[in-house]
Amino acid sequence: MGGLLRKYMEKKNITLFEQNRVNLDSYFFEPFQEISENYDTSKVFETEKIGTKKKLPLLPHPLTNFSFFMDGSRKVYKIGDIITPENRFMPVIAGQVCAGCCYRDEEGQMHKHMLEKQNYLMLSDAINEEDFEYIKHGYERDMKERLPLKVEKYRFDKLKDDKPANTAIAVIQSFMHDLELSILDKIVASNVLTPESMLILDGALQFLPSKIKNPDIFYNVIGVSKSFNPNLTKLTKNKMHIGTLLSKLEFAERTPVIKMKSNDEKLTFGVWYVRIRDIYKRGDPLDGIVKIEKLALKDELDNDGFDSVLIDTISSSLIAERIPTCYGKDERWANHLYPVYLTEKMVKSSFMSDIYFSNLF
């Protein structure tokens, strides 16, 4: 990194300290998927008024309503620190971002459908706008053949953020969601999604509201989270922790659908949980439980919520997707859906190695 980036930094009186490149994924852990607790528990958000849980019919494998599986991933690195002319000391963060989609054909074979990648160099907005634009355009141009990348800013607010590096990582995470939406736009435009051939997005949909310009693209899409906050209380009327409620779910049971508003109040989601594996009595009580989110569109908003038959079909399909398992290949195996696991492996295999990538700067 030193020679090329240092050249642009020094011309703007910015001191650059090089150091051993550090993969920050080993030091910083992602928070729970929930970024909102804006739930409405006054009534269930589906046509059938079920109690705390419902037993689901088991579909014969591989009969499910899913054919497309999408995942996004990122790898982030600290590659140096800078001191600005105003004596601000801030980290320089680099990242690889990738999103991809696989599809399953009628014979049950998985194939790569789409893959998009982007590399980033994150600089603090403590660098003034004129100096930043000089560094950005010059460095992007000179790095084009070696490593195509985008130089972007992150803004650290000490009153809201704990560490500047985490702020930069959050921006890179946002760019990953941009790639996911770009792929989803293209898939929807190709007219391959139907109620019998839906798409699973690995992760929460509630990260995306500020980026969603056309909610209708989510008609045949759900988000499935392998991890979630078990200490939420606003999801239950009696302030019980959601983990307490979920620990009582038996195999092939689901919770009712609960309405959730996005933080900006512009979008409404249906949220529910399903136990897809019968293992909880031998391990963590939440092993084998996944959280599902589906964007509510006009029909759901105009009526009593989601059609319970649709929710049951989606939930039973997710149970069918647990077979075969990735047991022993991933510590999260109990909460994995196998085609999502394969998609995640496809996406992550596209990354450059840590040593190779970090030393390109």
pLDDT band, very low/low/confident/very high, at 19 (cuts 50, 70, 90)? confident
**Residue 108: per-residue pLDDT:** 87
pLDDT band, very low/low/confident/very high, at 330 (cuts 50, 70, 90)? confident
**Residue 158: per-residue pLDDT:** 80
111-136, pLDDT tens digit by residue?
A: 999 999 999 999 999 999 999 999 99
Q: Is 282 left (phi over 0), alpha (psi -120 to 50) or beta?
A: alpha
pLDDT band, very low/low/confident/very high, at 332 (cuts 50, 70, 90)? confident
**Residue 28: per-residue pLDDT:** 59
For the chain, percent of residues with pLDDT exceeding 90: 55
pLDDT band, very low/low/confident/very high, at 201 (cuts 50, 70, 90)? very high
**Residue 2: per-residue pLDDT:** 53
Pairing of β 198-202 and β 221-225? parallel
Give the residue, 224 or 158, on which the prediction is more confident: 224
Whether the Cβ atoms of residue 193 and residue 199 lie closer than 8 Å to each other = yes
Q: Is the pTM of this model over 0.85?
A: yes
Calculate ∠ Cα 131-132-135, nearest 5°: 85
For the chain, percent of residues with pLDDT exceeding 70: 93
28-85, pLDDT tens digit by residue?
A: 555 555 655 678 888 899 999 988 899 998 877 667 899 999 999 999 999 999 998 8
pLDDT band, very low/low/confident/very high, at 210 (cuts 50, 70, 90)? low
Pairing of β 110-124 and β 221-225? unpaired
**Residue 33: per-residue pLDDT:** 54
User: Exposed, middle or buried by CB within 10 Å (0-12, 13-18, 19+), for 286?
Assistant: buried
262-283, pLDDT tens digit by residue?
A: 877 788 999 999 999 887 566 7
**Residue 229: per-residue pLDDT:** 84
CA–CA gap between residue 55 and residue 51 (Å, rounded): 11
Model confidence at 90: pLDDT above 90:
yes
**Residue 187: per-residue pLDDT:** 94
Rounded to an integer, the average pLDDT of 183-200 is 93
Dihedral (C-alpha) 261, 265, 268, 274: value to the nearest 10 degrees? -20
What residues are paired with 173 via a beta bridge? none
Give the residue, 217 or 222, on which the prediction is more confident: 222
Query: What's the chain's average pLDDT?
Result: 88
**Residue 282: per-residue pLDDT:** 63
296-326, pLDDT tens digit by residue?
A: 998 899 988 999 999 999 999 999 998 887 7
